[in-house]
Amino acid sequence: MIDINLQLMDIILACLLDLILGDPYNLPHPVKMMGKIISFEESGARKVFKEKGLYFAGFLIVLLNICIAFIIPYYLLKICSFNFYLYHIINILLLYTTIAARCLRDEAFKIYKALNCSIEEARLKLSFIVGRDTKNLNDKEVIKATVETVAENTSDGVIAPLFYAIFGTPFAFVYKMVNTMDSMLGYMNQKYRYIGFFPAKTDDLFNYIPARLTGFLMIISGIFRYDIKEAFRIMIRDRKNHKSPNCAYPEGAVAGLLGVQLGGDNFYFGELVKKPKIGDKKRELEIEDIKRAVSIMFAAEGVFIGGLVFLILVKGY
């Protein structure tokens, strides 16, 4: 049984550690290991299962990986529980690896800087953080894709893991595994239609609450800077304007706060995917919107952390 106050404190310290360190490229990272596991499983599954049999393979992959993601941090922390300080140091480090705010900021700023140099470099930098084809995007489309990615990943990479971490660090790892499976297998094109079905649906389920929570946190965080009433209207109006039942909430909140239009058709693996638009085009997207989207992300995280501090203070009385 975890001490909720101590767990909340560890989450706050993990957030601070993420803001300071980000994700150093030369250090091993659990998400990279998750990616290698998923890639190995996909390769094996395709050798054993054919066509619709890959539905079952996708189900097995989800079931196995959820168990792996929960068991490893659970027993690691259990082994360290003999010492109070060691336990919480390990717990903070594990939680830190599930948060990607600083990393997302760094990747977005690389694109921001590249746009001031060459569109080819900006397309390349963008290709590292999105699933869509980037080689033919113009500068406005690169900006839009970056803003959308920051908005969506404020939920996937920041608020969602923090939300699940409240229930225990192993749950945050389970979420990261589910999200990684979706990012690698959850495409509804010909290649991943069968094997990606259960990973995509599981991710939809895990993100149901965090995505909506993220949208509301974004709007609350903009109370002194933006028209939050308009942002709320856009988010609710356009909440279904996405193939995902969840992504339109943070994207709608950002579109409403910034007064821009996101969404629309994109190419994925050479296939055109038609998507409805999100938000009203009150003005054209501009390069500074990348910085504004990053600012909204950090503000939303700040509101969430403020909520944790409030819970600690309330439980302390």
Kindly state the average pLDDT of the residues 249-258. 97
Q: What is the mean pLDDT of residues 87-107?
A: 97
**Tens of pLDDT along 143-170?**
999 999 999 999 999 999 999 999 999 9
Write the pLDDT tens digit of every residue in 185-195. 998 778 899 99
Query: What pLDDT, on the 0 to 100 scale, is given for residue 272?
Result: 67
Q: What is the mean pLDDT of residues 241-265?
A: 92
Distance CA 91, CA 56 (A): 34
Question: Which of 154, 171, 176 has the alpha carbon at shortest distance from 301?
Answer: 154
Q: At what angle do helices 53-80 and 169-185 cross, to 10 degrees?
A: 150
Residue 4 has pLDDT above 50, yes or no: yes
Going through 25-159 in order, the beta strands assigned E by DSSP cover: none
> What percent of the chain has a predicted confidence (pLDDT) above 90?
81
Q: How many domains does the chain have?
A: 1
Beta strand 266-268 with 277-278 is unpaired
pLDDT digits (tens, 9 = 90+) for 114-135: 999 899 999 999 999 887 888 8
The pLDDT value given to residue 158:
97
pLDDT at 316 (0 to 100): 62
Quote the domain boundaries for residue 130: 4-316
